[in-house]
Structure 1
Amino acid sequence: MAALEEEFTLFGVPLGAGPDGLLGVEQSDKTDQFLVTDSARTVILYKVSDQKPLGSWSVKQGQIITCPAVCNFQTGEYVIVHDHKVLRIWSNEDVNLDKVFKATLSAEVYRILSVQGTEPLVLFKKGAVRGLEALLAEPQQKIETVISDEEIIRWTKFSLLFKHPVLIFITEKHGNYFAYLQTFNTRILSKYTLLPGLEEKSVIQNFTASVQRKFITLMSLSSDGSIYETLIPTHPGDPEKNQVVVRSLLLKAVVSGDAGNGATLHILDRDHVAVLGTPQSASKDHLSIWNIKFQTLQASKELPQGTSGQLWYYGENLFMLHGKCLTVVPYKCEVSSLAGALGKLRHSCDPDTHAAPHFVNWETAHEDESQNSEQSRKNLRRKDEASLQPAVSASRQLLLTIKNDTEKHIEVELRKFLAVKQTPDFHAIIGDIVRGLLDRCKAETSFYPRNCLMQLIQTQVLSYSLCPALMEVALEKSDVQILQICLRQFPDIPEAVTCACLKVFLSIGDDKLQEADINTESVFDLDDAVQEEKMEEQTEVVENGFNLEEDSCSNCDKELKEKPQSVTQETSSSPVTPKRAALLNAVLHSAYSEAFLVAHLKDIPAQHITLFLQYLYYLYQKCSENAAMTLPGTHPPTLDQIMDWICLLLDANFTVVVMLPEAKRLLISLYNFVKAQINVYSELNKIDVSFRELQKLNQEKTNTGLYSIEVLELF
């Protein structure tokens, strides 16, 4: 259960907040005192309990504070940066900032970060980090560049993990987000690419994070008003590799869709998050507390004067600008439970509860003491027995969660498990987890943890033999995205399963394909208009150096002459949509044995065989237009794969295809292409023979008139 108490204004005089609000609110070395930096020239020290300022400092006219003031908890002094490079340090006794310690740095500063228990850190705009003491010893030292060009730091957090400093900062470049994790005990800087989840189609607006023992929980508020979660391991496996983490949906539509107009969030504890913004059904800003464990709204407070979209929290106080005044909202968050989330938690003041008496009955005191002593011995015995039992492994605990908990909770626990450092038997453990999920899928028809399966497949340690039921369930659900990834990653898929995938890819409706998230990188996109112009400029259809209309064979050529436009239409546009083409390309890339595959191809319906042949013919035409006989794009089908599958389909279904009227023109086109290729190879063979004869004649002329001397040695 969580509650927001009555707010109060920290100081009645409006602050010098600009259109973007304040620069920051930071805690000082006294728990009740805070440094507030406005967006112009002033730093004010407030005491919350007295609701009044204790001190105020300003930079000179013409100077601008560019980094919020922080407290150096080791010395009790305050630190700011103005004009991007000028660092100032002062104490409570100082009055004029122009007369305090000054150091001009060699690079622009993004933020000074300070927490209790360690020295402050200086984060530069190019991603480099320095300790304050080392920087003061040599202010003009060279600062290296860590992030790439056009990459901008958007958010940062500094914390302690096992008394060791941990820094995480988020950068953005062309709409892509990256997380940098700096651990100072190991001096390792790790970079992660933040990939959007399957549900996310919006832009990130704000971040918040909490540092735990094994991973960092990073939450982001997107412009669609939803909160997404990312787990980043605190002990990365290989910092040199390009590591990828995926954002997943945590809370949907906590604020309205235009969340970019002043909305932010903060993690309060492991189960609660504070959100500042306009809810879906309201027109004014609200401060709300959400329970992320049970996904319920716990408390909400309307803010009629509007906010700057900024929120800070320390202890049990939330700080924000309400109108132009700095407002403090105390809050309380109790331990999360289902009863508390539903508002049914019984409090001690309920009439049903009975308080303990304020007197002691000496007649029963000895008896009660004996019972308490015996109970204590029993509890101690239970603890000793529990300590002797082996600890339940994380994977076994996850398997127990899979059997009983909800799909959403399983997904959260799985992300936590995958964020931990991998063990040598990682592939076997992943196989057990997949089998546990699939066993429950078969037992409960309504249970299909698609996001969990996608996360497990993306580990790239699975194979068909390790979890054969995975593709079986995906075929039952017609989950073409999972089938496509399995075809690309699994090297040991049986031919029967490959043909089953082909059936689904050819028969699934276009409306379902439109909804599916399919990787189309193997599908090239040619400008059909340019191709048509080229065809119009040619007076004859020429393929591989031969004019089909001049060929003197059979009635097939006559039919081609009667309808030349249809041929052009066949070759200029693909018979299938790009998403279906990507699925068919995955089948073309799959491994197979011809002897086993042909038997299963006979079970595919004739109209689907015709469609697949038309697509293969289209690919062959595009290959023929290129001098290198290859297709453009990333990892497209090769000419050998196209020709092999054409032969396989015709070998398995030729009798059926011949009887289909709609396949007649396709077979005629294929026949003419084969005949043209035969003519090409025949002429090339003649040229090859001619070159060999010329080579022999040249060798005979060269050897004419030459002699050799051979010396034999006898022993």
Structure 2
Amino acid sequence: MAALCESFTLCGLGPSSGVGLDGGLLALEPGPDRDHVLLTDRGRTATLFKVSDQKPLGCWSAKHGQIITCPVVCNFETHEYIAVHDDKVLRIWKNTDVNLDKVFKATLSADVYRIHSLPKGGPVVLFKGGGVRTLDVLLEAPQQEIENIISDEVIKWSEAFMERQQPVLIFATEKDGDSFVYVQKLKMNNLQKYKLEQQELSKALSFTAYIKNQIITLLCLSSNDSVYKFLIPLQQNTEEEEQILPRSLLLNLSVSGSVLKGTSFVVLDKDHIAVLGSLATAGEESKECLTIWNTKFQTLQTSKELPLGTSGQIWCYEKKFFFTHGKVLTVVMYKCETSSLAAAVGKLKDSQAPDVSSFVDWNTLGDEELVISFQSRQSVALKPESRMIDASTTVFENELRQVMSKGQMPDFQATIGCVVTALINRCKANPKYYPRNFLLQIVENRDLSYSLCPDLMVVALEKKDLHLLQICLQRFPDIPEEITYACLKAFLSFSDAYLQRIDLNLESVICYLDIEFNNKEVKTEIIENGFSTELEQDIWETKITKKLHGTSDNESCPVGPQKAALLNAVLHSAYSETFLLPHLKNLPAQQAVLFLRYLYYLYVKCSEKINTTLPGTCPPTVNQIMDWLCLLLDAHFSVMVMLPEAKELLSKLHKFVRAQVRFYSELNKIEGSLRELQRLNHQKDPHTYSVEVLELI
């Protein structure tokens, strides 16, 4: 979970404060101390602030007629400050310097876009033409020629990292609506170029990135109200001059009918991002706000309205947000806790199901970065999908089996997820290709999760592969409610005649489902004391049971065994009521009634036994049945009371529940009487013999 904490004003913005407001700030950079930040306005001034004291420690201005065109940064090795004014003039000074016109000056041969200062790598200078130099190399010959790499492209964003003691710089450019990304490894003088896959009619608004395990994760805020993720391995074969970098949807910025029009964003940790923008709701005026989103579970965690407006810029340092609000620079503290699958899902799987801990470790193996990192280190790495389409099915699957055979290799679960993803990507590229048996084998024999192969169930729904969906519902601990609902709707839509032709696992229903038998056949039933008796010899007992529980002689399962097994898989899946209920409201009325009839049937069957447990392998529990009954009635109660075919069912359900309430009420009375008797017996002389009669009223 994430939360916004206390906030305060760092400084005013305007002529009187020395910090300009027009167009927002040029940048906010970390200072020489963890509690220091450097503000550069879109003009002549740079100011060093101590955040905790909310006061300036130093202020430097270029002389009249000069404009600071590159944000001021701190050289963490020398504690000097570096700035560029008028695109080409480099200035370096110390805290004791007052007049910028008298500090070190060097005129460069090309326009500077940005200077990035790395804590252990020194400053790195990026020129507008795409050339990169470290500061020490540049100062040796300030007028050295700088190559023009990007020609007519325009740099929109850049960032620098230290990876294995090597400076790495990444920058994004734009040309004719297309976006490109360059990755420069300075010590190796290695440059990689990529073209970003984009959706039509959408435009990249903002970028951010982080690096982990030799993988750069590039995030892009798009104009279609979404955040996309691109993974760039540093150990990349650069045979191709330009590669298409595939994207994956990280987050849709919408919740409960409201859409966030983001302007900028920052990464907080691997599960959370903060987005600054305008929240628009139909029929209402949009409001600017600061929001925190959980990218793993696609949820809005918290938001804060900003009625005075912002410049659309946000920075994040030391667990603090910095952004303009009206005519001041506001600081908002925040906290983020590690995302918990159990907390986010709400309804965990039943204890009969496999332990969630046997699946992916969400803190280490849940990231695609580990998959790509692993592939870059293995000799039997999966080829890019664009190269695998031409491979024959046999060769392709044999190569995947070789990867799967390395059971002791690191990040094994993540690699298996990559195997499934590769198969699914090939299915999308070639609709005639669908390795059903191979997918079944992987899902049945490997501990996977939905997050490791998110498109698997979507493709299975398209292919109507009900057996695979059944296994996924039984084994995946983190299926989104939208997919669970899609499976439920699909299962209810198929006829029993169609399902009879499909091979499914019926272990969860075979021991309790009422199945038609010939008159000559005898049905046996396991009784609680371990003996079995013939049904024909228990007619009197059966009638008494049905009378007690309000069932009639013709009460039978409303669905066939195949559909019952599929519905049981849905009942076992984990979910959160908050997220599932909106989807359930879209279930067609006839399907909702059929599902309610089946839940009622299961409830009656559970109540026939004293311990309320159905026989068989992993049958639904009474708690699961009751939870889904309540959910379905909450979602469709208005429809149910108006449907003629549902009125009788609701009446029977009402009578049944009312009878059970009375029954358990009487049991409570008996329990209270027995406790009272036990208390009285303890008070009497144990040596006195007596015979007493206890009358229960």
| TM-score normalised over the length of structure 1 | 0.51
Could you list the runs of 5+ residues in structure 1 that have no partner in the other structure? 346-399, 437-448, 480-715
CA deviation map 1:157-181 (0-9, x unaligned): 1111123211111111111111111
- Do 2:157 and 2:207's aligned partners in 1 also have CA atoms closer than 8 Å? yes
1:187 aligned partner: 189
Question: Is the partner of 1:134 in helix, strand or coil?
Answer: helix
Q: Does 2:54 match 1:88?
A: no
**How do residues 69-468 of structure 1 correspond to structure 2 at under 5 angstroms?**
69-147=72-150, 149-196=151-198, 201-238=201-238, 240-254=240-254, 263-281=263-281, 283-341=286-344, 417-418=371-372, 420-421=375-376, 423-426=378-381, 431=397, 453=423, 455-456=425-426
- Do 1:190 and 1:239's aligned partners in 2 also have CA atoms closer than 8 Å? no
Q: Does 2:27 match 1:21?
A: no
Whole-angstrom CA distance in 2 between matches of 1:458 and 1:189: 32
Question: Aligned in 2, Cα 1:188/1:47: closer, same or farther, shift over 3 Å?
Answer: same
Shift of 1:239: 5.2
Question: Aligned in 2, Cα 1:190/1:456: closer, same or farther, shift over 3 Å?
Answer: farther
Shift of 1:451: 7.8
Q: Return the structure number with greater helix share.
A: 1
Letter in 2 for 1:421: S
Shift of 1:37: 0.2
Question: Aligned in 2, Cα 1:52/1:155: closer, same or farther, shift over 3 Å?
Answer: same
- Do 2:215 and 2:369's aligned partners in 1 also have CA atoms closer than 8 Å? no
Question: Aligned in 2, Cα 1:108/1:184: closer, same or farther, shift over 3 Å?
Answer: same
- Do 2:90 and 2:107's aligned partners in 1 also have CA atoms closer than 8 Å? yes
Shift of 1:237: 2.0
Letter in 2 for 1:193: K
Whole-angstrom CA distance in 1 between matches of 2:367 and 2:137: 41
CA deviation map 1:465-522 (0-9, x unaligned): 999989xx9899489xxxxxxxxxxxxxxxxxxxxxxxxxxxxxxxxxxxxxxxxxxx
1:32 aligned partner: 35
Letter in 2 for 1:249: L
Question: Is the partner of 1:120 in helix, strand or coil?
Answer: strand
2:674 aligned partner: none
- Do 1:291 and 1:341's aligned partners in 2 also have CA atoms closer than 8 Å? no
Shift of 1:294: 1.3
Question: Aligned in 2, Cα 1:343/1:475: closer, same or farther, shift over 3 Å?
Answer: closer
Question: Aligned in 2, Cα 1:304/1:340: closer, same or farther, shift over 3 Å?
Answer: farther
Whole-angstrom CA distance in 1 between matches of 2:54 and 2:307: 22
Letter in 2 for 1:334: E
Whole-angstrom CA distance in 2 between matches of 1:429 and 1:164: 39
Q: Does 2:55 match 1:52?
A: yes
Shift of 1:242: 2.4
Letter in 2 for 1:172: E
Whole-angstrom CA distance in 2 between matches of 1:244 and 1:332: 37
Question: Aligned in 2, Cα 1:476/1:217: closer, same or farther, shift over 3 Å?
Answer: closer
Question: Is the partner of 1:336 in helix, strand or coil?
Answer: coil
- Do 2:92 and 2:103's aligned partners in 1 also have CA atoms closer than 8 Å? yes
Whole-angstrom CA distance in 2 between matches of 1:162 and 1:318: 29
Whole-angstrom CA distance in 1 between matches of 2:258 and 2:180: 24
Question: Aligned in 2, Cα 1:12/1:415: closer, same or farther, shift over 3 Å?
Answer: closer
Whole-angstrom CA distance in 1 between matches of 2:218 and 2:333: 24
- Do 2:289 and 2:306's aligned partners in 1 also have CA atoms closer than 8 Å? yes
Whole-angstrom CA distance in 2 between matches of 1:475 and 1:8: 51
- Do 1:237 and 1:421's aligned partners in 2 also have CA atoms closer than 8 Å? no
Whole-angstrom CA distance in 1 between matches of 2:434 and 2:343: 46
Whole-angstrom CA distance in 1 between matches of 2:141 and 2:25: 31
Whole-angstrom CA distance in 1 between matches of 2:110 and 2:428: 40
1:2 aligned partner: 2
Question: Aligned in 2, Cα 1:433/1:26: closer, same or farther, shift over 3 Å?
Answer: farther
Q: Return the structure number with greater strand share.
A: 2
- Do 2:215 and 2:372's aligned partners in 1 also have CA atoms closer than 8 Å? no
Whole-angstrom CA distance in 2 between matches of 1:465 and 1:271: 33
Whole-angstrom CA distance in 2 between matches of 1:456 and 1:120: 44
Whole-angstrom CA distance in 1 between matches of 2:347 and 2:28: 36
Shift of 1:112: 0.5
Question: Is the partner of 1:306 in helix, strand or coil?
Answer: coil
CA deviation map 1:526-551 (0-9, x unaligned): xxxxxxxxxxxxxxxxxxxxxxxxxx
When the two chains are superposed, the root-mean-square deviation of aligned CA atoms in Å is: 4.1
Whole-angstrom CA distance in 2 between matches of 1:233 and 1:458: 24
Shift of 1:456: 4.7
Question: Aligned in 2, Cα 1:174/1:468: closer, same or farther, shift over 3 Å?
Answer: farther
- Do 2:209 and 2:218's aligned partners in 1 also have CA atoms closer than 8 Å? yes
Letter in 2 for 1:127: G
Whole-angstrom CA distance in 2 between matches of 1:415 and 1:93: 45
Question: Is the partner of 2:269 in helix, strand or coil?
Answer: coil
Whole-angstrom CA distance in 2 between matches of 1:288 and 1:102: 42
Letter in 1 for 2:311: S
Shift of 1:186: 2.8
Question: Is the partner of 1:5 in helix, strand or coil?
Answer: strand
Letter in 1 for 2:397: G
- Do 2:71 and 2:83's aligned partners in 1 also have CA atoms closer than 8 Å? yes
Asked which structure has the greater CA Rg, the reply is 1
Could you list the runs of 5+ residues in structure 2 that have no partner in the other structure? 349-354, 383-393, 403-418, 440-457, 465-697
- Do 1:434 and 1:456's aligned partners in 2 also have CA atoms closer than 8 Å? no
Shift of 1:417: 2.5
Letter in 2 for 1:194: L
Question: Is the partner of 1:40 in helix, strand or coil?
Answer: coil
| TM-score normalised over the length of structure 2 | 0.52
Letter in 2 for 1:54: L
- Do 1:223 and 1:257's aligned partners in 2 also have CA atoms closer than 8 Å? no
Shift of 1:193: 1.3
Whole-angstrom CA distance in 2 between matches of 1:258 and 1:204: 17
Shift of 1:219: 0.8
- Do 1:213 and 1:234's aligned partners in 2 also have CA atoms closer than 8 Å? no
- Do 1:128 and 1:143's aligned partners in 2 also have CA atoms closer than 8 Å? yes
Whole-angstrom CA distance in 1 between matches of 2:429 and 2:235: 17
Question: Is the partner of 1:331 in helix, strand or coil?
Answer: strand
Question: Is the partner of 1:299 in helix, strand or coil?
Answer: strand
Shift of 1:12: 3.3
CA deviation map 1:340-399 (0-9, x unaligned): 547999xxxxxxxxxxxxxxxxxxxxxxxxxxxxxxxxxxxxxxxxxxxxxxxxxxxxxx
Shift of 1:17: 3.6
Whole-angstrom CA distance in 2 between matches of 1:62 and 1:196: 41
**How do residues 573-612 of structure 1 correspond to structure 2 at under 5 angstroms?**
none
Letter in 2 for 1:77: E
Identity across the alignment (%)? 48
Question: Is the partner of 2:12 in helix, strand or coil?
Answer: coil
Question: Aligned in 2, Cα 1:99/1:297: closer, same or farther, shift over 3 Å?
Answer: same
Question: Aligned in 2, Cα 1:10/1:475: closer, same or farther, shift over 3 Å?
Answer: closer
1:668 aligned partner: none
Whole-angstrom CA distance in 2 between matches of 1:17 and 1:286: 22
1:43 aligned partner: 46
- What number of residue pairs does the alignment pair up? 406
